[in-house]
Structure 1
Amino acid sequence: MTIFSGYSRVLAQVAPWEWVAEPLPFAGVMENLVLPGLVLIVYMAFIFPQLKKRRDQRDLLNSLAEGDEVVTSSGLHGIISALDESVVYIEVSDGVELKFSRDSVSGKLAFDDEDDS
């Protein structure tokens, strides 16, 4: 006989469990709000920022113009010399012009108006 063998008999004689299991009046409402709440949290944390980033990228691509200094997704820096609906020609050096897909432009670079000297 172990030390805990007597406890099972004591626990079996404890008052019935009906008094413990009384549901709260708003418990059903809370259970129904958990799943929509989780969906809202996932939307706000993951989906909404991605939609904003995609919208910002689309606006950037629509605002490209000749003379803009840009960087591509591969890290190439240059100045747009010509552009088409789906193609961008980027001048990376004097007389060196590369053809890129317009979607490969990842950002604009701002010109520094001040001299470093």
Structure 2
Amino acid sequence: MLISPAFAQTAGAASPADMFSQFMPLLLIFVVFYFLLIRPQQKKAKMHKEMLNALRRGDRVVTGGGIIGTITKVKSDTEVQVEIADGVKVLVARDSISVVMAKTEAADKVSANDSDDDSQDDQDGNAKTDGKSKSTGLKKLLGG
């Protein structure tokens, strides 16, 4: 015969260093996924939850469907009433609010600022502006 029979060699016992080197790429992939995908997503979810918990009457919001309105009443932990046009109020699930465009001040800050606002009126009774743009919510929405 021209072909000689081939005999398989017996495999030696795997050393712990060999097992570690086999799992090293898998561990490296998990670490990269954690820092590039999982951790930023958890941070974003935490910030969104804090934003939803801080909702109050007078905040200007954008819903998940793209409707822009002003919160008129916080009904419960799961619902808010949003005015989307003059006299048109809808109930919206709190979780469906995606962005707060403009925040209102807290009640104690508003009462303290009311006396300051009277001194800032000009002779015609028009309130003066401090020159700051109130479009910060839009900048957040557009990522700027």
Q: TM-score range by the shorter chain?
A: 0.5 to 0.7
Asked if 1:98 corresponds to 2:77, the answer is no
The size of the alignment, in residue pairs, is 89
Corresponding residue of 1:22 = none
Corresponding residue of 1:87 = 79
Q: Distance in 2 between matches of 1:70 and 1:53?
A: 18
Distance 1:113 1:80, change over 3 A: farther
* Structure 2: unaligned runs, 5 residues or longer: 1-16, 104-130, 135-144
Structure of greater Rg: 1
Between the aligned residues of both structures, percent identity stands at 33
Runs (4 or more) in structure 1 with deviation over 3 Å come to 27-32, 111-115
Asked if 1:74 corresponds to 2:65, the answer is yes
Describe the SS at the equivalent of 2:70.
strand
Amino acid at match of 2:77: E
Q: Distance in 2 between matches of 1:59 and 1:114?
A: 25
Corresponding residue of 2:27 = 36
* Structure 1: unaligned runs, 5 residues or longer: 1-26
Relative to the length of structure 2, the TM-score reads 0.55
